[in-house]
């Protein structure tokens, strides 16, 4: 089941106090970024975050769920109605999240630095 745009918009509204919240649609679901780092995503209209130490400490009783078949387990965020809780969670996680991987540069058709004509 794909996630609804309405649920995405609800979650984004809950996170509106944070700067640089972005998302990317991916196969009917949505990846959520905070200041360029992947925090988690929306899968089947559920907000799931990476199970890093800071998130586990912030939500010690959170359930582990699969975003999709074959994926690694993530933490289910149940308290999505609480803006303060969500912004606190994302802020607590930020420093521990891995930096985005650098994008690979496109190869150009050059020979020893000279462009073929």
> What's the pLDDT at 109?
56
Close Cβ partners of 55 (under 8 Å, ≥ 6 residues apart): 49, 62, 75, 89, 92, 93
> What's the pLDDT at 100?
83
Over residues 2-11, the pLDDT tens digits come to 899 999 999 9
> What's the pLDDT at 115?
56
Grouped pLDDT means (10 residues each) for the chain, 117 residues: 91 96 94 96 97 97 94 96 97 94 69 56
C-alpha separations of 6 from 3, 11, 29, 82, 99 in Å: 9, 9, 12, 17, 29
């Amino acid at each position: 089941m794909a996630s609804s745009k309405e649920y995405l918009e609800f979650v984004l509204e809950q996170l509106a106090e944070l700067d640089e919240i972005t998302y990317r649609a991916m196969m009917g679901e949505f990846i959520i970024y905070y200041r360029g780092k992947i925090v988690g995503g929306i899968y089947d209209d559920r907000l799931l975050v990476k199970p890093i130490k800071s998130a586990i400490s912030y939500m010690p009783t959170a359930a582990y769920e699969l975003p999709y078949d074959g994926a690694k387990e993530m933490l289910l965020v149940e308290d999505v109605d609480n803006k303060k809780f969500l912004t606190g969670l994302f802020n607590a996680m930020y420093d521990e999240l891995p930096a985005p991987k650098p994008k690979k540069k496109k190869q150009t058709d050059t020979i020893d630095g000279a462009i073929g004509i």
